[in-house]
Amino acid sequence: MEKNIVCLPGDGIGTEVVESAVAVIEKIEQKYGHKFNLIYKDFGGIAIDNHGNSFPQDTLDACLKADAILLGAIGGPKWPTTAPDSPERGLLAIRKSLNLNVNIRPVTVYDAQLHMSPLKEEIVKGTDFTIIRELSSGLYFGQPKYRDNDRAVDTLAYSREEIENILHFAFKLARKRRSHVTSVDKANILDTSKLWRQIAEEVGAQYSDVKLDHLYVDAMAMELMRRPAFFDVIVTENMFGDILSDEASMLAGSLGMLPSASHSINGPSLYEPSHGSAPDIAGQKIANPIATILSVAMMLDQSFDLTAEAKNIEEAVYKTIEQGVATKDLGGNATTTEMTEAIISNI
Ligand SMILES: NC(=O)c1ccc[n+]([C@@H]2O[C@H](COP(=O)([O-])OP(=O)(O)OC[C@H]3O[C@@H](n4cnc5c(N)ncnc54)[C@H](O)[C@@H]3O)[C@@H](O)[C@H]2O)c1
Please indicate, yes or no, whether residues 136 and 248 belong to a single structural domain of this protein: yes
* Nearest-atom index, ligand 1, CA of 281: 37
Mutational pocket test of ligand 1: of 88, 238, 275, 290, the residue with most ligand atoms within 8 Å of the beta carbon: 275
Please indicate, yes or no, whether residues 290 and 192 belong to a single structural domain of this protein: no
Whether residue 186 lies in the annotated active site: yes
What's the pLDDT at 196? 98
Question: What's the domain range around 289?
Answer: 1-100+258-347
Residue 34 lies in a domain: yes
**Distance of alpha carbon 115 from alpha carbon 111, whole angstroms:** 8
Nearest CA to ligand 1 atom 31: 256
Mutational pocket test of ligand 1: of 255, 333, 336, 339, the residue with most ligand atoms within 8 Å of the beta carbon: 255
Kindly give the interhelix angle for 238-249 and 217-226, rounded to the nearest 10 degrees: 20
Compute, in angstroms, the gap from residue 33 CA to the centroid of ligand 1.
34
Please indicate, yes or no, whether residues 245 and 227 belong to a single structural domain of this protein: yes
Last residue of a domain, one of 228, 252, 276: 252
Please indicate, yes or no, whether residues 131 and 214 belong to a single structural domain of this protein: yes
Last residue of a domain, one of 198, 217, 252: 252
Q: Which of the 8 DSSP states describes residue 119? A: S
CB atoms near residue 143 (< 10 Å)? 9
94 in the Ramachandran plot: left (φ > 0), alpha (ψ -120 to 50) or beta? Answer: alpha
237 near 249, Cβ under 8 Å?
no
**Distance of alpha carbon 116 from alpha carbon 120, whole angstroms:** 10
Residue 107 lies in a domain: no
Helix (H) or strand (E) holding 241: helix 238-249
What's the pLDDT at 177? 94
Please indicate, yes or no, whether residues 136 and 233 belong to a single structural domain of this protein: yes
Please indicate, yes or no, whether residues 156 and 221 belong to a single structural domain of this protein: yes
Ligand 1 lined by 290 (C-beta under 6 Å): no
Whether residue 246 lies in the annotated active site: yes
Residue 113 lies in a domain: no
pLDDT tens sequence for the chain (347 residues): 999 999 999 999 999 999 999 999 999 999 999 999 999 999 999 999 999 999 999 999 999 999 999 999 999 999 999 999 999 999 999 998 999 999 999 999 988 888 889 999 999 999 999 999 999 899 999 999 999 999 999 999 999 999 999 999 999 999 989 999 999 999 999 999 999 999 999 999 999 999 999 999 999 999 999 999 999 999 999 999 999 998 998 898 888 999 999 999 789 999 999 999 999 999 999 999 999 999 999 999 999 999 999 999 999 999 999 999 999 998 899 999 999 999 999 99
What's the pLDDT at 56? 98
Please indicate, yes or no, whether residues 220 and 248 belong to a single structural domain of this protein: yes
**Distance of alpha carbon 36 from alpha carbon 300, whole angstroms:** 11
Please indicate, yes or no, whether residues 298 and 321 belong to a single structural domain of this protein: yes
Please indicate, yes or no, whether residues 178 and 243 belong to a single structural domain of this protein: yes
Please indicate, yes or no, whether residues 14 and 86 belong to a single structural domain of this protein: yes
Residue 108 lies in a domain: no
| CATH value at residue 188 | 3.40.718.10
Please indicate, yes or no, whether residues 297 and 218 belong to a single structural domain of this protein: no
**Distance of alpha carbon 40 from alpha carbon 29, whole angstroms:** 18
Ligand 1 lined by 74 (C-beta under 6 Å): yes
Residue 279 burial by CB count (10 A; 0-12/13-18/19+): exposed, middle or buried? middle
Please indicate, yes or no, whether residues 73 and 50 belong to a single structural domain of this protein: yes
Residue 111 lies in a domain: no
**Distance of alpha carbon 205 from alpha carbon 212, whole angstroms:** 9
CB atoms near residue 82 (< 10 Å)? 6
224 near 247, Cβ under 8 Å?
yes
Last residue of a domain, one of 252, 282, 315: 252
Residue 43 lies in a domain: yes
What's the pLDDT at 309? 98
What's the pLDDT at 246? 87
What's the pLDDT at 282? 98
Identified catalytic residue from 67, 85, 128, 246: 246
Ligand 1 lined by 326 (C-beta under 6 Å): no
- Structural domain count, the chain: 2
| SS3 category, 142 | strand
The pTM of the full predicted model, rounded to 2 decimals, is: 0.91
Residue 203 lies in a domain: yes
97 near 60, Cβ under 8 Å?
yes
Residue 40 lies in a domain: yes
What's the pLDDT at 112? 81
Whether residue 145 lies in the annotated active site: no
What Cα–Cα distance (Å) separates residue 80 from each residue in 75, 93, 155, 183? Answer: 9, 17, 23, 35
